[in-house]
Amino acid sequence: MYLGGNISASAVPLLLLPILTRSLEPSEYGQTVSFTILIAFWQTIIGLNTQAAIGVYWFREPQAIGEYGSAILLVIGATGLMGIIASPVLIKGVMRASISNTFAALAVVVAMMNAIVQCRVSLWQAKQKVKSVVALQIGSALINISTSLALVTAFHLGASGRNLGVLVSSMLMAVISVVTMVRNLEMKCSFDIVKIKTLVVYGFPLVFHSLAAFILGTNDRWMVAAILTPEELGIYGATAQIGSAMFLFADAFVKAYTPWVYDRLKGNTVQDKFRVVGSIYIAIPSFILVALCGLGATLLAAKMFLGNRFQGGGHLLPAILFGGVMNASYMCFAPLYFYSGKTKLLASITVISAGVGSVVSYFLTWRFGMIGAASGSAITWSLLAIGNLSVAVRTFDLPWKSTRQSLQEWYTFRVPTETTSGSSGVK
């Protein structure tokens, strides 16, 4: 069901591709790519990653979740205000594809709204309310696509119309998120400095992890924006949108997988440990199979959805999909670090991988152009996945060497069904 929700959400940029790549010049489309990159950048800072903690504290202190929700909202507001003030300074000289100071500030607003929605979604995931998460994704997708279509085609606002469509949908979803959290007592009118400090201590080390993850996820487009032309950024961004299918699959996987792993680690039985390891050993080969099956589909989609001025990027897709496989593999290990509170360790691995990968990506992009950017991104994701695997084996007390028994425990286990409370059930 998570995959269905992700497909609905991803359908927005995909369905808009035939229109945008035929209505806009590649350089104009590059402006929408720049706006998206800025949103992703600010999402690493807004809230100081405190919104990532609320799912964990639902399991640890469910009776105090309302105070935690309010504390997160205050942190999002404070960091967002600072981001709006700083945004014009940060964009100067960074991107060759022009973006105005107004849209640079609006990117911060979108990041604030997305942080609020992430808080809402994290709690629903912890409670295994899959249908609610999917409904929010579909609602956001419908508003996003309808608003963007109207502004681009009817009002002829071009790239600005697309960017405003993202803003409108994010604001509406944030309002819905706050209303539902207040109604369910997951957010109260309170100011608890202890809760704020607790969340910041948990989340702040993850800012560096998230910044590194941002570099991991966007370093190919950053390199194209910094080294190549705005036209190439537009072509690369449109092709990468097609190739994002594997990353969307990974995102759907982690939304279902993370609360399940938290439940197993909370149980802390021998069987639960085997099941966690078994799930990892099954998931990674499955990701590879999905990518191989999806390669032909993405090549066909590129020909169908992209306008004539954006053709010629199909050779980038194998490298982009391989990067998605490595991203999904990394997702298998991340919940172990989050649940155990070893966020500094996770941040260290991510920062090192992003740093080394960025250097590799820079030289590959400078030497080989767009294919170098795609290959550099795949190498960077590989460094992260391999780094997390090697550290996890040495850090977490799990039966990593008991492959057969772990797989047997996984096959005989039935995944918990959706419940309306924080506890898990069985199908």
Report d(CA 372, CA 369) in Å as an integer.
Answer: 5
Contact call for residues 51 and 252 (beta carbons, < 8 A): no
* pLDDT band for position 360 (cuts 50, 70, 90): very high
Q: What is the reported pLDDT for 285?
A: 94
Q: What is the reported pLDDT for 336?
A: 93
Q: What is the reported pLDDT for 423?
A: 38
Closest CA to 256 of 350, 124, 400: 124
Cβ atoms < 10 Å from Cβ of 304 = 10
Structure tokens at 189: 């009118």
> CA separation (Å) from 250 to 18, 321, 347?
25, 11, 20
Handedness of CA 201, 203, 207, 212 (dihedral sign): positive
Query: Among 55-59, 107-111, 248-252, which stretch is predicted with the lowest mean pLDDT?
Result: 55-59
Report d(CA 336, CA 40) in Å as an integer.
Answer: 24
HEC readout, the chain: CHHHHHHHHHHHHHHHHHHHHHHCCHHHHHHHHHHHHHHHHHHCCHHHHHHHCHHHHHHHCHHHHHHHHHHHHHHHHHHHHHHHHHHHHHHCCCCCCCCCHHHHHHHHHHHHHHHHHHHHHHHHHHCCCHHHHHHHHHHHHHHHHHHHHHHHHHCCCCHHHHHHHHHHHHHHHHHHHHHHHHHCCCCCCCCCHHHHHHHHHHHHHHHHHHHHHHHHHHHHHHHHHHHCCHHHHHHHHHHHHHHCHHHHHHHHHHHHHHHHHHHHHHHCCHHHHHHHHHHHHHHHHHHHHHHHHHHHHHHHHHHHHCCHHHCCCHHHHHHHHHHHHHHHHHHHHHHHHHHHCCHHHHHHHHHHHHHHHHHHHHHHHHHHCHHHHHHHHHHHHHHHHHHHHHHHHHHCCCCCCCHHHHHHHHHCCCCCCCCCCCCCCCC
Residues 193-224 have pLDDT tens digits of: 988 888 888 888 778 878 887 888 888 998 99
Query: Among 58-62, 111-115, 325-329, which stretch is predicted with the lowest mean pLDDT?
Result: 58-62
Q: What is the reported pLDDT for 28?
A: 86
Mean local confidence (pLDDT), 236-253 = 88
* pLDDT band for position 416 (cuts 50, 70, 90): very low
Residues 145-166 have pLDDT tens digits of: 899 989 988 888 888 999 999 9
Instruction: Please give the mean pLDDT across all residues of the chain.
Output: 86
Higher pLDDT, 331 or 411: 331
Q: What is the reported pLDDT for 412?
A: 81
Q: What is the reported pLDDT for 375?
A: 96
Report d(CA 86, CA 397) in Å as an integer.
Answer: 44
Structure tokens at 83: 């981001």
Residues 30-88 have pLDDT tens digits of: 889 889 989 999 999 999 888 878 877 777 777 778 888 899 999 999 999 999 998 87
Query: Among 249-263, 318-332, 364-378, which stretch is predicted with the lowest mean pLDDT?
Result: 249-263
Query: Among 5-14, 214-223, 354-363, 387-396, which stretch is predicted with the lowest mean pLDDT?
Result: 5-14
Q: What is the reported pLDDT for 357?
A: 93
* pLDDT band for position 292 (cuts 50, 70, 90): very high
| pLDDT of 422 higher than 70 | no
Q: What is the reported pLDDT for 421?
A: 39
Contact call for residues 394 and 253 (beta carbons, < 8 A): no
Query: Among 27-36, 92-101, 113-122, which stretch is predicted with the lowest mean pLDDT?
Result: 92-101
State the amino acid at position 296 in one-letter form.
G
* pLDDT above 90 as % of the chain: 41
Report d(CA 374, CA 379) in Å as an integer.
Answer: 9
Report d(CA 210, CA 259) in Å as an integer.
Answer: 20
Residue in the structure block whose two tokens are 């109207």: 150
Mean local confidence (pLDDT), 301-325 = 90
| Distance linking the first and last C-alpha atoms of the chain | 15
Q: What is the reported pLDDT for 426?
A: 34
Q: What is the reported pLDDT for 12?
A: 66
- Provide the b/e sequence for 110-138 (b: ≥16 CB within 10 Å): bbbbbbbbbbbbbbbbbbbbbebbbebbb
| pLDDT of 182 higher than 80 | yes
Mean local confidence (pLDDT), 289-298 = 92
| pLDDT of 420 higher than 70 | no
Q: What is the reported pLDDT for 177?
A: 93
- For the chain, the domains span 2-411
pTM (2 d.p.): 0.77
